[in-house]
């Protein structure tokens, strides 16, 4: 991770929070559609990061044990399992399949 | 408005779900994202308070996430010092992972940074729901805003008055931060020892954690459609678009969710 990346992403994470608190909030209050759109953004972008982390390896699309781990995690999230259980199960399934296959 | 579940019994019983077991990030994310968000938050009859057990589970959860992040960062080639500094100041593990994903697929530094920014919008949105509920005052609101994460905002916005919002926010934050900094400290040392993260399945930890964080959003139909659209946009673009662009353009998935909402309102 480069120094520029650390600095600029810090500005991004802190700055967007401050912007949310003082600038975006009042704007969204007047525009319900924008508020709803903003509320949906995490679903889209976080899912994109999940897809990237699960299927990418060195720039190529790969289906491997990580997908099985994510599948188990999805099942557990759907069943409302505790956070820690979801995370540990995903790691165990992924590592277990790697050891077996 | 649509398909929203009423608060679960554990939420309305006056105790935070963590009291009965480990904290459920997916569940406590709900209030910030429930019906009418963000101008009105769901009020449970009795606001959840953080018990000592909740405090400990919160710390343990963030401890384990911190350890994992450091080990993965160092495995990806960051020097331990750099990884420690990055995770201490950036305040967005999701951004760090987005950055790693883009760099790993050969993207430029700026493409990776842009992806990190797009992903950090989530925290801006959390600050939107938190800020108006805090006591007046620029500095105290600013201090709280930069510490806005999913669980502390979710607990805080349910409190009945500004004073309790602020108190419960900082108590939850303290639990998270103690766990987080202990975790990244330990992880920085383990990063050198563990070696191959794949053998421990650590590369599967963050996708699973992120899924749990947006779990409640995905339970709403518009949230699910948005998530699927965002994932599909990313997946479609991955093979040929420049690295970073698939994550950035996934924002357009929101249009699918909005379109669905409109048709839903029209049909009922």
ipTM of the complex: 0.93
Q: What is the dihedral of CA A57, A63, A69, A71, to 10 degrees?
A: 130
Contact B207 A20 (CB under 8 A): no
Contacts of B182 (CB under 8 A, 6+ apart): B59, B63, B66
Q: Is position A91 within any domain? A: yes
Q: How far is B84 from chain A (nearest CA, A)?
A: 11
Chain A residues with CB-CB distance to B122 below 8 A? 41-42, 45-46
Contact A44 B229 (CB under 8 A): yes
Determine contact, residues A54/A70, Cβ cutoff 8 Å: yes
**Minimum mean pLDDT range among A46-60, B47-61, B122-136:** B47-61
Q: For chain B, say whether A24 makes contact (Cβ under 8 Å).
A: yes
Q: Is position B233 within any domain? A: no
- C-alpha to C-alpha distances, A29 to A23, A35, B30, nearest whole angstrom: 11, 7, 19
Q: What secondary structure letter does DSSP report for B46?
A: S
In which band, very low, low, confident or very high, does the pLDDT at B266 lie, cut at 50, 70 and 90?
A: very low
Q: For chain B, say whether A34 makes contact (Cβ under 8 Å).
A: no
Q: Is position B259 within any domain? A: no
Q: How would you class A88 by CB atoms within 10 Å of its CB: exposed for 0-12, middle for 13-18, buried for 19 or more? A: middle
Place of tokens 């990884």: B83
Q: Are strands A60-61 and A56-57 parallel, antiparallel or unpaired?
A: antiparallel
Interface of A with B in 74-93 (CB under 8 A): 74, 77-78, 80-87, 89-93
In which band, very low, low, confident or very high, does the pLDDT at B47 lie, cut at 50, 70 and 90?
A: low
Q: Is position B34 within any domain? A: yes
As a residue count, chain B comes to 268
Q: Is position A67 within any domain? A: yes
Q: Is position B28 within any domain? A: yes
Domain that holds residue B15: 9-219
Total structural domains within chain B: 1
Q: How far is B46 from chain A (nearest CA, A)?
A: 22
* Residue of B56, B8, B67, B17 lying closest to B171 (CA atoms): B56
Contact A1 B222 (CB under 8 A): no
Contact A43 B206 (CB under 8 A): no
Residue A56 pairs with which residues in a beta bridge?
A61
What integer pLDDT is reported at residue B33 of this predicted model?
Answer: 36
Structure tokens, B247: 């994550």
Would the pLDDT of B222 be above 60? Answer: yes
- Residue predicted with more confidence, B78 or B22: B78
In which band, very low, low, confident or very high, does the pLDDT at B174 lie, cut at 50, 70 and 90?
A: very high
Q: Is position B252 within any domain? A: no
Q: How far is B73 from chain A (nearest CA, A)?
A: 8
Segment A15-31 mean pLDDT: 89
**Minimum mean pLDDT range among A76-90, B11-25, B117-131, B227-241:** B11-25
Domain that holds residue A81: 63-101
Q: Is position B230 within any domain? A: no
- Does the pTM surpass 0.95? The reply is no
Q: Is position B3 within any domain? A: no
Would the pLDDT of B9 be above 50? Answer: no
Average per-residue pLDDT in chain B? 80
Number of other residues whose CB lies within 10 A of the CB of residue B38: 26
Contact A42 B121 (CB under 8 A): yes
Structure tokens, B19: 């009291």
Q: How would you class B258 by CB atoms within 10 Å of its CB: exposed for 0-12, middle for 13-18, buried for 19 or more? A: middle
Please name the member of B26, B116, B214 whose beta carbon is closest to the beta carbon of A83: B26
Total structural domains within chain A: 1
- B-interface mutation test, from A11, A24, A31, A52, most B Cβ less than 10 A away: A52
Q: Is position A41 within any domain? A: no
Q: Is position B119 within any domain? A: yes
């Amino acid at each position: 991770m480069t120094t520029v990346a650390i600095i600029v992403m810090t500005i991004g994470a802190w700055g967007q929070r401050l912007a949310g608190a003082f600038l975006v909030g009042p704007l969204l209050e007047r525009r319900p559609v924008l508020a709803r759109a903003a509320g949906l953004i995490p679903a889209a972008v976080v899912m994109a990061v999940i897809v990237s982390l699960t299927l990418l390896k060195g720039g190529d699309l790969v289906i491997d044990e990580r997908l099985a781990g994510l599948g188990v995690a999805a099942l557990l999230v759907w069943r409302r399992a505790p956070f820690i259980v979801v995370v540990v199960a995903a790691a165990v399934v992924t590592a277990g399949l790697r050891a077996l296959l | 408005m649509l398909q929203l579940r009423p608060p679960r019994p554990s939420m309305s019983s006056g105790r935070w779900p963590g009291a009965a077991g480990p904290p459920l990030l997916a569940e406590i994310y709900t209030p910030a994202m429930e019906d009418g968000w963000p101008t009105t938050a769901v009020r449970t009859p009795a606001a959840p308070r953080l018990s000592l057990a909740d405090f400990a589970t919160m710390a343990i959860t963030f401890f384990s996430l911190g350890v994992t992040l450091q080990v993965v960062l160092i495995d990806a080639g960051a020097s331990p010092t750099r990884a420690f500094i990055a995770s201490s100041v950036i305040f967005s593990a999701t951004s760090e992972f987005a950055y790693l994903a883009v760099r790993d697929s050969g993207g430029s530094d700026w493409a990776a940074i842009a992806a990190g920014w797009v992903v950090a919008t989530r925290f801006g949105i959390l600050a939107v729901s938190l800020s108006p509920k805090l006591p007046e005052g620029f500095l105290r609101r600013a201090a709280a805003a930069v510490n806005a994460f999913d669980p502390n905002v979710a607990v805080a916005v349910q409190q009945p008055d500004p004073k309790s919002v602020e108190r419960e926010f900082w108590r939850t934050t303290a639990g998270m931060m103690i766990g987080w900094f202990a975790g990244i400290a330990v992880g920085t040392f383990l990063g050198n020892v563990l070696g191959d993260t794949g053998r421990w399945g650590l590369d599967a930890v963050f996708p699973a954690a992120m899924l749990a964080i947006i779990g409640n959003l995905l339970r709403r139909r518009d949230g699910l459609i948005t998530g699927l659209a965002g994932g599909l946009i990313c997946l479609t673009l991955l093979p040929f678009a420049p690295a970073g662009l698939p994550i950035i353009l996934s924002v357009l998935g929101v249009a699918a969710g909005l379109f669905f909402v409109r048709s839903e309102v029209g049909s009922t």
